[in-house]
Structure 1
Amino acid sequence: MWYFLALALLLLAFRKRFSLLALAVAVGMGVYSGILDVRALAWMAISVALIALHFRLRQHARLRVITEALLVLDALALTLHFAPGFHNLKMLDAVVVSPASVPFTLYYNADKALVPFVLAGCINTLFIAPVAWRAPRRAWFVLAASVPALLCIAVALGGLKFELHLPGWWPQFALANLFFVSLAEEALFRGYLQQRLTQVIHPLAALAASALLFGLMHYSGGPLLMVFAALAGVIYGLAWMWSGRLWVATLFHFGLNVCQLLFFTYPALRAW
């Protein structure tokens, strides 16, 4: 199921028919394996109906505002795991990367993986949008360097510690983090939220707002994680703003997470 779901997400930006075919196969396998039950199927059916209605109302701007709001709420519910009927697969259960790291549990989230599909149904520029702010090449080098720099700041603040490790479950982590975490979150916060805000306010204000909300989404990790996530959101937001490409922001997001896993305590420093 998970490989077909990842393939569907990979194809969504440029081969929608093949993407939907791969998604259909993934859903079928999810039902067969018990990951999706009848409530999840009902939720997805309602989502499809909302997307179809949103498309049919393309000549009715006011009504489309309502259907778009409902689709965004749909995506938010999937992101926060509020949608019923999804029995996400636990791949790792409280593993410890290193003695200084807190235990880490890894899920393959079928609900969160659906977020890009839902948002692509209400905004056709989700993956490729007009460039809001062009940056010189040297700015991209600075932005790439800011990824390890931010992690070093977290070390200085006592949230992380330098450590080298390559766990045997690295491939499972990479698949889940790229497609079922980074892409889903970037679709919501950059591809949709920052893009929509950019249409009504200054691009920098839109970037700041989306980054702050991204930080707030990590409230369960405490104040330091919220600040760290908000600063990371600025990096991802700049990557989106300068490129207009959702996958560029996603790769920055994924790159930061991988960099932390390989060179720092993960997901956080254990409090002794």
Structure 2
Amino acid sequence: MWILLAGALTALQPARRLALLLLALATLLGFYQDVLAWPALLLFGGSAAVVALRIYDRAHHQRQIVTEALLLLIAIGLLLHLFPGFNNPLQRDHVQIGPRSVPFSFGFNFDKALIPFVLLAALPTLFRAPAALTRYRLPAALALIAAVPLLLYSAVLLGGLAVERHFPAWLGTFMLANLFFVSLAEEALFRGYLQQRLRQALGGLPALLISSLLFGLVHAPGGVLLVIFATLAGLIYGLAWHWSGRLWLATALHFALNLTHLLFFTYPALHH
């Protein structure tokens, strides 16, 4: 089921009909395997109704605004796990990856995986938007790649992390979960949608700063240091999106930072 869902997300931009077919199959398996329960049908039905109204009433500007706002609210609710009917299975519960790391849990999130589907219906340019950078692309790419270990090492200097190498047996499961059901979902909301809409309204720099700050504030339950770290990470992902206009590039950078963090540093934080 999770491979089907990952395949649906991979196909969403280049082959939307295939993506919807794979999503339908994953959804049926989700109900069969008790990952989804009947209240999720209300979300699926309501979302489909909003999308249908948006498609068939394109000439009515005010209704387009209302339906886009509703889709955004649905996406935020999915991010925060506010909708009932999703029994997201844990893959590791309270596992400590290393002697100096804080125990953590992770799993597969069906609800967060729906965010790109919802937001693509709200904003057709979610995956591909106009790029702000037409020259010096290679130096920009190298700078963004270098920023990943630099940011992590700065967290070491601040006392939030320590160098600690890991290669857990469940690495493949973590990579699948983190790429498709964390990184892509979060980038679709914060970069593909929010930063894009803010750039259209306010310009590139305000959009970058505001979306990065909002991304940091979502991590507030982890403490002030995590908010700062996530905001700085958001600036890196935001620059990747702003310069390229490609959601998958920002997602790849997000995933690369999370994976580097897991492999070479205390994860998710240093145990004091």
1:48-63 equivalences under 5 Å are 48-63=48-63
The equivalent of 1:99 in structure 2 is: 99
Partners in 2 of 1:209 and 1:134 — Cα distance? 24
The equivalent of 1:248 in structure 2 is: 249
50-59 vs 229-238, which deviates more? 50-59
Q: CA deviation digits over 1:85-136, x for unaligned, max 9? A: 1000111011110010011101100000100000011110000011134451
Q: CA deviation digits over 1:44-65, x for unaligned, max 9? A: 1111111111112211111111
Indicate how the Cα distance of structure 1 residues 15 and 158 shifts in structure 2: closer, same or farther if over 3 A, else same. Answer: same
> How much has 1:32 moved relative to structure 2?
0.3
The equivalent of 1:236 in structure 2 is: 237
Pairs aligned (count): 271
- Unaligned 5+ segments in structure 1 are none
Mapped pair 1:37 → 2:37: yes
> How much has 1:202 moved relative to structure 2?
1.6
> How much has 1:142 moved relative to structure 2?
1.1
Taking structure 2 as the reference length, what is the TM-score of the superposition? 0.98
Partners in 1 of 2:218 and 2:91 — Cα distance? 23
Partners in 1 of 2:257 and 2:10 — Cα distance? 20
- Unaligned 5+ segments in structure 2 are none
The equivalent of 1:115 in structure 2 is: 115
Tell me if the contact between 1:135 and 1:242 (Cα under 8 Å) persists in the aligned partners: no
- 1:20 partner letter: L
Q: Does the residue aligned with 1:58 lie in a helix, a strand or coil?
A: coil
Tell me if the contact between 1:177 and 1:254 (Cα under 8 Å) persists in the aligned partners: yes
Q: CA deviation digits over 1:203-232, x for unaligned, max 9? A: 011000000000000000000000000000
Sequence identity percentage: 55
39-48 vs 220-229, which deviates more? 39-48
Taking structure 1 as the reference length, what is the TM-score of the superposition? 0.98
Indicate how the Cα distance of structure 1 residues 134 and 223 shifts in structure 2: closer, same or farther if over 3 A, else same. Answer: farther
Partners in 2 of 1:166 and 1:67 — Cα distance? 45
Partners in 2 of 1:53 and 1:170 — Cα distance? 42
Q: Quote the RMSD (CA, aligned, Å).
A: 0.8
The equivalent of 1:150 in structure 2 is: 151
The equivalent of 2:71 in structure 1 is: 71
> How much has 1:198 moved relative to structure 2?
0.6
1:97-246 equivalences under 5 Å are 97-134=97-134, 136=136, 137-246=138-247
Partners in 2 of 1:135 and 1:255 — Cα distance? 24
The equivalent of 2:23 in structure 1 is: 23
Partners in 1 of 2:111 and 2:247 — Cα distance? 20
Q: CA deviation digits over 1:136-169, x for unaligned, max 9? A: 1212211110000000000000000001111000
The equivalent of 1:10 in structure 2 is: 10
Tell me if the contact between 1:104 and 1:267 (Cα under 8 Å) persists in the aligned partners: yes
- 1:10 partner letter: T
Partners in 2 of 1:263 and 1:142 — Cα distance? 20
The equivalent of 1:263 in structure 2 is: 264
